[in-house]
């Protein structure tokens, strides 16, 4: 078999132009896989915290360092804490999801009529006045009820929609070692641990920390400038 010999001009193009671009692309992809990434949010399961069309920043070094393009941990220095917003591979279909950690390994979690109980203790709620909900991209019928939920020292908004049929009560369930119980802030419109169960630690890709950009898909992808570069609670 004869060896393919490229013309000198092609070899120079490969060496000086294409090869550096391929190495740069490989480095960027490896960095997004192991260090940091962004995640587009197509659904309203985390409303009112995250809206459809938000793009969230994901810190993939928040809990560990994984080998590029894999879920194999090279080093671990902590796990998600209660209230963290995490990006993970769904146990149901391997899709990337964004949810909030509610139950840690060893916790007992229950919910009665959308009211959470952690280890037998009632979670505190406060009514939110002047809560802003993006109705332009919300397909849910009103009324929406919004409150502030306290998970340990963390506060964040949650939303319920009484007219939607959903799982509003469950448990108690005990979270096994190496697993987490996750839920969406939009409690009546979220595909989460109530449906697919516990999430293994290895499935968690990183922690979502901020909205870096936001486009309103129902209004010709108009930018929501007020949401750019805002921290997530």
The domains of the chain are located at 36-231
Q: How far apart are the C-alpha atoms of 90 and 30, rounded to whole Å? A: 22
82, 149 Cβ separation under 8 angstroms: no
Q: How far apart are the C-alpha atoms of 62 and 207, rounded to whole Å? A: 6
Segment 15-23 mean pLDDT: 56
Average per-residue pLDDT for the chain? 83
Q: Which position has the higher pLDDT, 48 or 19? A: 48
Question: What's the topology of domain 36-231?
Answer: Umud Fragment, subunit A (2.10.109)
pLDDT tens-digit series, residues 56-82: 999 988 898 777 656 777 878 889 999
CB atoms within 10 A of CB 104: 19
Q: Which position has the higher pLDDT, 26 or 168? A: 168
* Residue 45 falls in the annotated catalytic set: yes
Q: Measuring CA to CA, how many Å separate 69 from each of 18, 26, 31?
A: 22, 11, 9
> CA angle, corner 204, sides to 201 and 210, nearest 5?
140
Q: Measuring CA to CA, how many Å separate 63 from each of 35, 97, 143, 174, 209?
A: 11, 17, 38, 23, 13
Q: Measuring CA to CA, how many Å separate 215 from each of 42, 55, 117, 151, 218?
A: 11, 8, 35, 29, 9
In the predicted structure, residue 137 carries a pLDDT above the cut 80: no
- Which of the residues 45, 190, 193, 214 is marked catalytic? 45
Q: How far apart are the C-alpha atoms of 62 and 210, rounded to whole Å? A: 13
- Which of the residues 99, 190, 193, 214 is marked catalytic? 99
Q: Which position has the higher pLDDT, 27 or 53? A: 53
């Amino acid at each position: 078999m004869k060896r393919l010999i490229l013309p000198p001009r092609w070899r120079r193009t490969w060496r000086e132009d294409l090869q550096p671009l391929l190495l740069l692309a490989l480095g960027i992809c490896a960095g997004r896989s192991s260090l940091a990434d962004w995640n587009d949010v197509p659904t309203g399961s985390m409303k009112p915290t995250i809206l459809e069309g938000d793009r969230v920043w994901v810190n993939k070094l928040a809990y560990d360092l994984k080998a590029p393009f894999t879920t194999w941990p090279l080093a671990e220095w902590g796990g998600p804490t209660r209230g963290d917003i995490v990006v993970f591979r769904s146990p149901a279909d391997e899709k990337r999801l964004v949810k909030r950690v509610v139950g840690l390994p060893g916790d007992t979690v229950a919910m009665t009529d959308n009211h959470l109980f952690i280890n037998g203790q009632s979670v505190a709620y406060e009514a939110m006045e002047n809560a802003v909900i993006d109705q332009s991209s919300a397909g849910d019928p009103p009324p929406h009820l919004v409150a502030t939920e306290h998970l340990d020292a963390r506060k964040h908004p949650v939303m319920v929609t009484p007219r939607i049929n959903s799982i509003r009560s469950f448990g108690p369930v005990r979270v096994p070692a190496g697993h987490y119980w996750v839920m969406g802030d939009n409690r009546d419109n979220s595909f989460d641990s109530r449906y697919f169960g516990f999430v293994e630690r290895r499935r968690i890709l990183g922690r979502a920390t901020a909205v870096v950009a936001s486009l309103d898909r129902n209004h010709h992808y108009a930018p929501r400038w007020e949401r750019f570069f805002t921290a997530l609670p």
